[in-house]
Structure 1
Amino acid sequence: MTRILLVDDDTELTALLQEYLSDEGFGVATNTDGRAAVAAAVASSVDLIVLDIMMPAMNGIEVLQRIRRQSQVPVLMLTARGDDIDRIAGLNLGADDYVPKPCSTGELAARVRAILRRSGQPAGTAELAPIRAGRLVLDPGNRTAEWDGHLLDLTGTEFSLLEVLARKAGQLVSKQDISKQAFGKPLTPYDRRIDVHISSVRHKLGLRQDGQSRIQAVRGQGYQLLLD
């Protein structure tokens, strides 16, 4: 089993990512101290490190510097959204990739798999398993979606949202679960991002034969993807 170490002081996000990656077939450990990442890299006890930049005591850039002095273990950096300075610094120091926070679990898993494939490591038991929901087929590894054999033009966020619904097609998914799994953060009051992205995905999926949307809202609860 591929071993991943998540290093981040955001314990809520880390717990969410750990649960998702474990379900995807990875062995996942967590820590809030960057020094643990250095120790794991030196001991060759993990196959990939997911490392947050903004941490107390020792930030991610310093941790990455120390890792690269002694190990070439793949490192995926978590950066503040829009912070190009940290992103460039991390890549220049030898980070394999980066994901801006808050991130969706699906996007992070796809980036992890891509890095592992490049490094010749196993990329999880669910890597090649497509998600099928009626005429909808999603490829989590390549983050592509097809409807009735035609490629859907989805943004990364739209794919993450549709993946959450497709995995539980025909079932109600709460807004809180959608927010955590698609956006990587709990739902907050007055947050309308889910509704905005749902509207766009609905348009791209088109209508059912009965004229209804393929994504139905249950007022005050969440959404469900309807099968034809």
Structure 2
Amino acid sequence: MCAHVLVAEDDEMQAELIRRSLLLEGHTATVVHDGRAALEAARLHRPDLVVLDLMLPVLDGFGVCRELRRDDDVPVLMLTARNTEDDVLLGLELGADDYMTKPYSPRELMARIRTVLRRSGRAAERREDPVLRAAGLAVDPVRHEVRCEGRPVVCTPAEFEILLAMAGEPDRVFTRHQLLHRTRGLDRASTERAIDVHIMNLRKKLEADPRRPVRLLTVFGVGYKLNSAAA
């Protein structure tokens, strides 16, 4: 069973850890960092589960949960560093399906997610195959493999993480900072300008004419996106 999970977590390192754990479990994920973005993403993506940090900026987790429950029964797993009984009870009263306090282990979080998904019965039987497919690419987060129109492509760890992010959300514009965060720890010399080098090298591997890319597009003044119309 493959579910789409919305992760609303303002700590970027925690959010990335959750995202990677979900991908390894065969799920897909959308990550946001504030409460208002969480509501917009929930309306856009119709996730099977929301992993919701309580202490979000703009609109906190309680507010997000309250708004979600107005017109949706999506399961909600709340995360928080606060462990007071009042917080737990309020979260559950607002409709949260489960509640975890920080710190937690990724294994325990994935076990809780599996339980909530199984209990809700909402997760679509999308596919057992966790491979992300977009723009003629197939990115396998489990086998750590990339194919372009069926042809195997050898990628560095940083290049793979960039493609994994983009294939998971085709047509989304990623800033250099966001892509740098995905590759941090894999390339110690990385700076935001190093992302330009990774994109240039990926274009050499994926584009028929790297000087006129159709897959990995530049959005001037913002960053890069994977063009879902390319094939």
Instruction: Compute the TM-score of the two structures, normalised by the length of structure 1.
Output: 0.51
CA drift of 1:28 comes to: 1.2
Q: Is 1:7 the counterpart of 2:8 in the alignment?
A: yes
Name the structure 2 match of 1:50. 51
Contact 2:10 2:34 in 1 (8 A): yes
1:36 — aligned with what?
37
Name stretches of at least 5 consecutive residues in structure 2 with no aligned partner.
130-231
1:19 aligns with 2:33: no
Q: What's the CA shift string for 1:17-62, capped at 9, x where partnerless?
A: 1111110111012110112222233345211110000112211001
Q: Secondary structure at the match of 2:55?
A: coil
Which residue matches 2:68? 67
Q: Which runs of 4+ in 1 moved over 6 A?
A: none
Distance in 2 between residues matched to 1:51 and 1:41, nearest whole Å? 11
Contact kept in structure 2, 1:51 and 1:76, CA below 8 Å: yes
Contact preservation (8 Å) 2:6, 2:42: no
Please name the residue that 1:93 is paired with. 94
* Whole-angstrom CA distance in 1 between matches of 2:25 and 2:110: 8
Deviation at residue 97 of structure 1 after TM alignment: 0.5
- Does the 8 Å CA contact 1:74/1:115 hold for their aligned counterparts? yes
Match of 1:63, SS state, is helix
Instruction: Give distance in 2, aligned partners of 1:20 and 1:48.
Output: 15
Unaligned runs of 5+ in 1: 127-228
SS in 1 for 2:23: helix
Q: Displacement of 1:125 after TM fit?
A: 5.4
Q: By how many angstroms is 1:80 displaced?
A: 1.9
- Contact (CA 8 Å) 2:9, 2:15: kept in 1 or not? yes
Shift in Å, 1:101? 1.0
**Residues of 1 paired with 2:69 and 2:56: CA distance?**
18
Q: Deviations over 1:136-195 (max 9, x none)?
A: xxxxxxxxxxxxxxxxxxxxxxxxxxxxxxxxxxxxxxxxxxxxxxxxxxxxxxxxxxxx
Report the secondary structure of 2:101's partner residue.
strand
> Any idea what the Cα deviations from partners look like across 1:67-87, whole Å, max 9, x if unmatched?
101211111000225222211
Q: Which residue of 2 aligns with 1:116?
A: 117
Give matches, 1:180-195, under 5 Å.
none
Instruction: With the length of structure 2 as denominator, give the TM-score of the two structures.
Output: 0.51
Q: Distance in 2 between matches of 1:16 and 1:43?
A: 23
Question: Aligned partners of 1:26 and 1:72: how far apart in 2?
Answer: 20
